Amino acid sequence: MKRAAFALCLALLVQASVVAQAAFDFETERQKLLELLADEHTDIGREFAKATIYSDARFHLGRAVVLVREFDKAMKAQGYEKKDGRWVLNAKDALPQKDGLSGDKLTAERERLGKKRDAAYKRLADKIRAAARRARDAQAAEDALALESFLNYYAPDDAEARKARGHVKIGEEWGPSFAKAARETGARHLQEAGEGEKVAEEDPQGKVIGARLWVRKGTHTVARAVESDERAARLHRVLEGIILLSRDTLKIEGPVFNGRQFTGTVVQRQEQYLAMVEKLSGKTGSDLELARKLAGSSQKDPWGFFCRESGWPSGDDMLGNTVAINVLYSCRGGGSEPWINTGFSYLMTGRLLGTTNTVRYTVKEEGQTAVGGGAEEPDLKKKSEGPQKLRALALFQAQTRTDASLRSLAVLDLNSLNMEHAAKAFSFFEFLFEKHPDKARQWLKLKPGQKVAEIANLEKALGLGVDELDNQWRRWVLTTY
C-alpha cells in the first residue's frame, strides 16, 4: 500500500514538473523583455536628442530598432514616418549628424544623462532577473539562463549571474570558464614555441627596402623584423605557437606547408611597406594597387606574408591569422571559404594571444567596418579588441536573432564579410570545438567545398542539418556567453 502511495506521489510530482515546464512560454517572455528594453532605449535616446547629443541618441535608438525590429516609437524618434506600410525618413525631422554640444558642456551633459541611463539600466536588470526567476520557478533552467544573458550588458558585474552561467574572471573581464581554459592552453603553446635561431648574415631584402632586417629561423618559419632582434624573436615564437596550437586543435601530424618555410615579416614605416609591395611581393596591376592600400600582403619569394604595424606587437595578430589559415590549408589540401578561414584563424589567435583582428578590410580599399546591430561597439582604433568583444556581438545577434545563417555565410566572398559575420564565424567555431570537437575535426579534414557545397560537408560530418546547427549555436551562446 505504501509503495503504491509513493509511486502515485512520484507520478504526480513528475506530472507537476512537466506541467510547470510547459507553463513557461519562453517566446512570449522573450518578446515582452525585448519590447521593454527597446522602449527604455528609446526614452534614453530621446533624452540625449533633447540635449543635442545626437551621436548617443542614434546609438540608443538604433539599439531599440534591432531589439524589436522597426520599433515604432524609436523609428518615429529618428524622424521616420510610415507611408503605404513603409518607413520613410522625413528629412526635416531627421537627427543631425553633428552633436550640438562640445567641450566641457558636452562632457557635463553626457555625464548627467549617463547617470540617468545607468539608473534605467539598473531597473532593466531587475526586470531581467524577475523574468529569469519566473523561468526557474517553472523549472525552465535553460530558459532562465537565456533571459539572464541580457544581464551581461545591463549589469555586467553581477557576480551571482555570471557564476550561474559558469563565468570566471579572465583578466579584468568576466567570460566563460571554457574560454579561460582555452586561453591558458594557448599560452602554454606560446611558451613552448621557440624563438628560432638568430641569423647572423644580413638579409638581402633589407637593402631593397632601405632597412636592416633582423632574422630568426626555425623548423617551420622564418621571422623578420626591422625593429630589433627581440621583435624578430617574439614574432618567431608567435608564428611557431600558432602552428603548434593549430596542429593540436586539428589533431594533425607531419609537415605543414608541404615542407616549405613560411616567412613572416614586420615593418614599421609606410615607405618600407610600400617598397616590399612594389619590389618583393610579385604583384602587378590591380593586385598591386590593392596591396598598396592595405596593411599586409603576401609574397612569393620567399613565400610568406608581410605587414606594417603602427605599434608593437600588433603584427602578431595579423601574421598569426595568416599562419593559421595556411595550416588549415595544409590540413584540408586546399583553400577554405572566407567565413571558415576567419572563424578558425580568429579562434587560434584568440586562444594563443588573447586577440582577434577586429579591424575588417574590404578587398577594394582599406576601411573599418562599423559594428552594427546596436551591440556595444568595439573601439576600432585599437589594434584588436579580443575574443570577448566578438562574443558580445555574437551574443547580441543570438538574442535578437539577427545573425547571418550558416547558409548565408557560405556564399559570402571576402569583400562581403563584415564584423557581424566575423563574430558569428568565430563564435560558431568556438561552439564546434567545445560541443562537437571530433566531428569538427572530421569536417575540417574533408576536401574543401565551394559556397553551399561546404555546407553539405558540414552536415555530413556533424550528422545534423545546418538549420539545426544554427539553432544549437544560438541556444549555446544564450546559455554560456
CA distance 393 to 354: 17
Sign (positive or negative) of CA dihedral 34, 36, 37, 43: positive
Phi first, then psi: give them for residue 119, nearest 5 degrees.
-65, -40
Please report, as a single letter, which amino acid is at residue 276: M
CA distances (Å), origin 449, targets 397, 410, 427, 467: 27, 10, 21, 18
What does the pLDDT look like over 424-448, one tens digit per residue? 999 999 999 999 999 999 999 999 9
**What pLDDT does 22 receive?**
55
What does the pLDDT look like over 204-233, one tens digit per residue? 999 999 999 999 999 999 999 999 999 999
Phi first, then psi: give them for residue 226, nearest 5 degrees.
-85, -15
Segments in 214-354 forming alpha helices (H): 229-250, 270-280, 285-293, 314-332, 338-353
**What pLDDT does 415 receive?**
83
pTM over 0.85: yes
Query: How would you classify the pairing of strands 221-225 and 214-217?
Result: antiparallel
* One CATH from 3.40.30, 2.30.38, 1.10.3470, 3.40.50 for 179-335: 3.40.30
Q: Are 66 and 400 in contact (CB under 8 A)?
A: yes
CA distance 190 to 192: 5
Domain ranges for the chain: 26-151, 179-335, 338-481
**What pLDDT does 89 receive?**
96
Q: Which of 230, 260, 226, 225 is nearest to 243 (CA)?
A: 260
**What pLDDT does 385 receive?**
64
**What pLDDT does 384 receive?**
46
**What pLDDT does 147 receive?**
98
Neighbours of 358 (CB within 10 A): 26
The sheet that has 197-198: what strands, in order across it? 197-198, 214-217, 221-225, 262-267, 303-308, 296-300
In the numeric block, which cell numbers belong to residue 327? 595550416
CA distances (Å), origin 3, targets 9, 10, 17, 259: 10, 10, 21, 72
**What pLDDT does 13 receive?**
44
**What pLDDT does 310 receive?**
81
**What pLDDT does 20 receive?**
45
**What pLDDT does 3 receive?**
53
In the numeric block, which cell numbers belong to residue 59? 546609438
Query: How would you classify the pairing of strands 296-300 and 262-267?
Result: unpaired
Q: Are 268 and 308 in contact (CB under 8 A)?
A: yes
Residue pointed to by grid coordinates 602554454: 188
Neighbours of 278 (CB within 10 A): 14
CA distances (Å), origin 21, targets 14, 140, 143, 232: 11, 6, 10, 59
Q: Which helix (H) or strand (E) holds 394?
A: helix 386-400
CA angle, 279 then 281 then 283, to 5°: 95
User: Would you give per-residue pLDDT tens digits along the chain (481 residues)?
Assistant: 545 555 444 444 444 444 444 589 999 999 999 999 999 999 999 999 999 999 999 999 999 999 999 999 999 999 999 999 999 999 999 999 999 999 999 999 999 999 999 999 999 999 999 999 999 999 999 999 999 999 999 999 999 999 999 999 998 899 999 999 999 999 999 999 999 999 999 999 999 999 999 999 999 999 999 999 999 999 999 999 999 999 999 999 888 998 899 999 999 999 999 999 999 999 999 999 999 999 999 999 999 999 999 877 789 999 999 999 999 999 999 999 999 999 999 999 999 999 987 665 444 443 333 222 222 332 323 334 689 999 999 999 999 999 999 999 999 998 889 999 999 999 999 999 999 999 999 999 999 999 999 999 999 999 999 999 999 999 999 999 9
**What pLDDT does 254 receive?**
81
CA distance 246 to 234: 18
Residue pointed to by grid coordinates 617574439: 234
